[in-house]
Amino acid sequence: MGAMNRSTTHTSAADQESAFETSLVLADQLCLALCASSRLVAAAYRPFRMGVTYPRYLVLLALWEQRGSSMSQLCARLSLNYGTVSPLVKRLVAAGLVDSDPGGADKREVVLRSAAASRAVEGQVGCMIETVVVDVGLSPQDLTRLRDQVNDLARRLAETTRLRTGRIPGSTHENLWPQDGIGVRGPVLEEFVNVTEL
């Protein structure tokens, strides 16, 4: 997504929305800033050595908050497809951090819960987040405002994609980056995977 540079032409307040020009300069690209920031969040967390990779950490966050999730519910909360989330869950189950039990409302789906062993990781997370927030130097208000703006951007992009393609980004069978051969991961999560592995 290209950033928009303000034109130097003087315009009225009513014309301000049209007083921006698309920039093709790499440093002006919002998509690059978002991708780099996402990668650097994972890098900032890495020294705390939680024993899980960043993508698995996101799965644990979801399961700590909402116990008894189905795979489809977990995929929806993470905005990722089944092919991306399934190997993350399998590795967490193998590590004893997630329990996978049959017997949900839909008998074909298992119920995923954070295991007791994951509590040791959960206990470290609050300290990790607080430390990184302090190091970054943004106030809680600024961070909340930034998060809400990014979430609003994500909703707008999802709606734009749905209108143009008829598909919901991150849905079970969606493939946003077919040329990569990596399904819905896209460049951001793929960068996490390159650095930390699943």
Higher per-residue pLDDT: 121 or 10: 121
Beta strand ranges found along 25-176 (DSSP E):
69-70, 98-102, 110-114
Across 68-95, average pLDDT: 94
pLDDT attached to residue 5: 59
Across 102-129, average pLDDT: 85
Say whether pLDDT at 58 is over 90: yes
Count the Cβ atoms, other than its own, within 10 Å of residue 8.
Answer: 7
User: Do 170 and 74 contact (CB within 8 A), yes or no?
Assistant: no
- Least confident range from 58-67, 120-129, 138-147, 180-189: namely 180-189
Q: State the DSSP code for 180.
A: G
pLDDT attached to residue 146: 96
pLDDT tens-digit series, residues 159-181: 998 898 887 666 544 444 333 33
Cα–Cα dist 39/46, whole Å: 11
Supply φ then ψ for residue 90, to 5 degrees.
Answer: -60, -40
For the chain, give the mean pLDDT.
80
Q: How far is CA 198 from CA 54, 176, 185, in A?
A: 8, 19, 12
Cα–Cα dist 184/82, whole Å: 9
User: Do 94 and 115 contact (CB within 8 A), yes or no?
Assistant: no
Higher per-residue pLDDT: 59 or 105: 59
pLDDT-derived band of residue 30, with 50, 70 and 90 as boundaries?
Answer: very high
Say whether pLDDT at 186 is over 50: no
Across 40-53, average pLDDT: 92
Q: What percent of the chain has pLDDT over 90?
A: 58
Q: In what order do the strands lie in the sheet with 98-102?
A: 69-70, 110-114, 98-102
Cα–Cα dist 58/131, whole Å: 18
Say whether pLDDT at 190 is over 60: no
pLDDT attached to residue 22: 85
